[in-house]
Chains A and B, each alone.
Chain A
Amino acid sequence: MTNELPPGLALQKVDERIMTLNVGPQHPGSGHMRIIVQIDGDFIVACDPDPGYVHRGEEKMAEYRNYITNIPHLERPVIHDSCNILYPYVLGVEELLGIEVPERAKYIRVIASELNRCVYTMYWLAIYGIFLGHSTMFMWPAGDRELLIDLLEKMTGARVTHAHFVPGGVRNDLPPNFEDVCLRQVNYFEKRIKEYAAIFYDNPILIARTANTGILSREDAIRLGTTGSVLRASGVDYDLRKKEPYDVYEELDFQTNVLKEGDSYARSKIPWLDMMESCRIIRHALQKMPKSGSVRVKLKPNPKGKGLDSVYKRVESGRGSLGCYIVSDGKPEPYRVKLSVGSFRNLIALPYLLKGEKLGNMPAVYWSLNYWPVEADR
């Protein structure tokens, strides 16, 4: 038996120029994770993100609950984007059980998930603003987010954890007069987010801070497997709503936003441009939605899969591609549920982006990855 320590515990050679800093997990700038940075003076030499502090075992928990009781706990990793994290699970269970969803329910789902994407993005934008020292950009998105939370509350009955999507449609129909209220508030919301251009996105102070920091080239973005806004900010036009349309996205009129720069500024601008597209999608969906009809297929009390079967579905969430792999063995409970989340895949790019940056630029680069620690740990 040797006395060798495992790789993570082995002592490292000390270089007197290099200092190791632990940013987090208690540091407000890191979220629920630790970033181990090695700095030479003010410049980052190496960086090692260390997630896993908020692991909840969602995937294991899903094996002990049936297809319906899995819904309330599977949305917990991202409570601000709870419709989008349930979306691939619900689509997968529908394919496993062989359920056909009513047309009106599909439109309601698209509207709910687009509203939720905006709610998530506004929360992220508020955090991004405050970590760049822009307090106004913390207050404005946090306030304007209320317009959409109010709509979701009218639709689903809860402000954050909606538990609205079920296999076979949605839990309840829209309340009366919802279309008018939704249209009015979404139009005002779009007018408000356009005002962010002058104070934040065209602000020379912000551009000086974030442009040309943490550049991710097109080749690296593809090689590292990043998704969502990070991938689209590096010039790759890849949006699952266009490439693999689910529900009614192929009937709706929208475009994807692509920027070529690949720096922190582009990565922070893409979600803001996406919110304007979301407003367009919501308006178009409200217009095309069937005015009446069923919204939910009646299921048996304990739905079961048909023997050994597996399914993989993915959707475009606020943070990129969000996949759900479900294996069924013919019992009411799934045999395995695997969530493949965008946050974790984008985090892989962080060591490459931070190398050679100044330590002060770390929050600007880190938060531009659109990273949500709780989702990455699941």
Chain B
Amino acid sequence: MNTATGIIKALNSGIKHLAIKRFTLRYPEEKLKFVGDGYQFDPSTGVGIAGYKGRHMLFHDHCTGCQLCSIACEGVAEAIAMVKVPEEHKHNKKAIMPQIDYGKCVFCGLCVDACPFYALYMTNDYELSSFSKEGLIYTPAQLQVKPFVSQDSEIKITDRGATHG
């Protein structure tokens, strides 16, 4: 192939893209959809359930204050601290629950794998920015709240190219 045809072919393959749909995801307006409600773990089988590893969710009625999540985080990020909670549960005599510092968390999900009581899950929420370092520390009461997410964009593949529909 000589130089002229090569350059024309290269230009042509770029120009063809004028007629192809835009692939870019317009992030704040559109958000990617994930499978499921987030990464969960089934201690009876020892296998996780696929999902996005985002902010945690803590179920106060399951948590016994056994500190296994905190022990699992030792040597990874040391983001989990056990703190006193005001409410009384008869399965949680010490009344301690995990408090997670998202300034340190690496979202590996090993704490979820460690929990034998189905008390700690991960959710699809990943927008955790804050103006202060203290704002990144989530108390057990904050972790109890189910996040509101509106994520509905998926990759669609048509004859005119792929797009985030």
Contact = CB atoms under 8 A, between A and B. Distances in A.
Contact of B13 (A69, A143, A195): A195
A69 B108 CA distance: 10
A157 B52 contact: yes
B10 interface: yes
B50 A155 contact: yes
Interface in A89-138: 136
Given A188-B162, A198-B10, A203-B10, A157 B75 contact: no
Contacts of A154: 34-35, 50
Nearest to A171: B48
B74 interface: yes
A295 B50 CA distance: 12
Contact of B155 (A147, A156, A173, A178): A147
Given A65-B75, A136-B14, A199-B14, A296 B50 contact: no
B47 A173 contact: yes
A194 B162 CA distance: 15
Query: Of residues A72, A157, A178, A203, which shows the largest number of chain B Cβ atoms within 10 Å of its Cβ?
Result: A157
Contact of B49 (A71, A144, A158, A172): A172
Given A157-B51, A185-B157, A298-B46, A204 B162 contact: no
B50 A174 contact: yes
B34 A295 contact: no
Interface in B12-46: 12-14, 23-25, 32, 34-36, 38-39, 46
B50 to A, nearest CB: 4
A237 B127 CA distance: 47
A205 B7 CA distance: 8
Given A154-B34, A171-B109, A69 B48 contact: no
Interface residues of A, number: 45
Contacts of B24: 143
Interface in B110-165: 110, 113, 122, 155, 157, 162
A178 B122 CA distance: 20
A174 B36 CA distance: 12
Contact of B76 (A73, A147, A203): A73
Q: Is the interface of B mostly helix, strand, loop or mixed?
A: loop
B116 to A, nearest CB: 10
A147 B150 CA distance: 21
Nearest to A184: B157
B52 A198 contact: no
Interface string A175-216: 110100000110010000001001110111100000000000
A185 B157 CA distance: 8
A188 B157 contact: yes
B47 A296 contact: yes
B53 interface: yes
A178 B35 CA distance: 10
Contacts of B91: none
Given A171-B48, A198-B9, A198-B13, A163 B109 contact: yes
A171 B113 contact: yes
B155 A69 contact: no
Contacts of B86: none
B7 A204 contact: yes
Interface in A42-74: 64-66, 68-69, 71-73
B108 A203 contact: no
Given A161-B106, A199-B13, A153 B48 contact: no
Nearest to A202: B6
Contact of B10 (A155, A184, A199, A297): A199
Contacts of A244: none
Given A157-B122, A172-B48, A296-B47, A72 B13 contact: no
B39 to A, nearest CB: 5
B113 A150 contact: no
Nearest to A176: B35
Contacts of A297: 46
Contact of B50 (A172, A184, A202): A172
Nearest to B47: A296
B14 A72 contact: no
A173 B50 contact: yes
B110 A296 contact: no
Given A143-B24, A172-B50, A198-B12, 8 more contacts: A68-B110, A69-B75, A72-B108, A144-B23, A146-B25, A188-B162, A203-B6, A294-B47
Top 8 closest pairs, chain A to chain B, by CB: A172-B48, A204-B6, A298-B46, A175-B50, A198-B13, A157-B53, A72-B108, A175-B35
Interface of A: 64-66, 68-69, 71-73, 136, 143-144, 146-147, 150, 153-158, 161, 163, 171-176, 178, 184-185, 188, 195, 198-200, 202-205, 294-298
21 contacts: A65-B76, A69-B76, A72-B76, A146-B25, A146-B155, A156-B50, A158-B52, A158-B53, A163-B109, A173-B48, A174-B50, A185-B155, A185-B157, A188-B162, A195-B13, A198-B9, A202-B9, A203-B7, A204-B2, A204-B6, A204-B7
